[in-house]
Amino acid sequence: MTTTLKDLTLKIWRQKGPNDAGRFETYDIPEISDEASFLEMLDILNERLIESGLEAIVFDHDCREGICGTCSLMIDGHAHGPQRGTATCQLHMRQFTSGDTIVIEPFRATSFPIIKDLMVDRAAFDRIVEVGGFISAATGGAPDGNLIPVPKPVADASMDAAACIGCGACVAACPNGAASLFTGAKLAHLNLLPQGQAERFKRAEAMVDTMDEYFGSCTNHGECEAACPKSISIDVIALMNADYRKAKFKNRKALSRT
């Protein structure tokens, strides 16, 4: 098997810490294999930097198989790079042409503060999940399969939303820095299933209100859906908007009964 080698120029955002101004630095990186993933290409660059006594570039990564949601990066103005439905770790160098200049910037949002270089703190997502991204159920022995029947289309819609890996590409891609796709996906995942019904409206109000504290608002551009490595549909945002409205009325009624 022949491997094509590429010579690339990288313009990478370097920032010493949260309060540093930061700037782009340019690196020439020759002889990169087609088969290298984008993160492997950064590994190679880091090895070369370390060998020449320079500081390695900090970037987020973990499973490298597209399921953990740790990797990020704005690559040439696209969250997770130009290839649709792909996380940065699954993006390969065969997508680029020799001689390309690739611009790499961290995800940017006020609630995603930069820690160092390309690494950002996405803990605001945890705040949203903490207030409702779960079901409160007594756990005991594993229940029998199909104990609670779920219609196939409902199970499919819930599963599509559950594919969200919480990477934050939706926020990064959104011109408004909104987290509606993330919150919508977390809500759709649980609010469609029978197990999620008991806390459905409490969840909807709590998660959307928490989202409000950190992120912008949705103006229905659809950039999030295009950037999402799991291609989650903006249909979940409509579901979120509908559930939030219902929740506001239902919870108000519930409140008047207490």
Nearer to another protein, 109 or 232 (CB): 109
Nearer to another protein, 195 or 231 (CB): 231
Nearer to another protein, 164 or 218 (CB): 218
Helix (H) or strand (E) holding 209: helix 200-214
CB of 140 to another protein, least distance (A): 26
Give the residues lining the site for another protein (CB under 8 A).
11, 13, 18, 22, 24, 74, 76-78, 82, 84, 103, 105, 108-111, 113, 115, 121, 123-124, 127, 131-132, 173, 175-178, 201-202, 205-210, 212-223, 225-227, 234-235, 237-245, 248, 251-252, 254-255, 258
* Cα–Cα dist 70/86, whole Å: 13
CB of 103 to another protein, least distance (A): 4
Supply the angle between the helices 152-162 and 180-191 in degrees, to the nearest 10.
150
Residue written as token pair 């995942």: 189
CB of 143 to another protein, least distance (A): 27
CB of 221 to another protein, least distance (A): 4
Residue type, 226: A
The contacts of residue 121 (CB under 8 Å, 6+ apart) are 112, 113, 114, 115
Residue 53: CB atoms within 10 Å: 6
Nearer to another protein, 48 or 202 (CB): 202
Nearer to another protein, 64 or 113 (CB): 113
CB of 138 to another protein, least distance (A): 20
Task: With CA atoms as reference, report the closest residue to 234 among 184, 164, 198.
Answer: 184
Helix (H, G, I), strand (E, B) or coil at 30: strand
Supply the angle between the helices 123-130 and 200-214 in degrees, to the nearest 10.
150
Residue type, 178: A
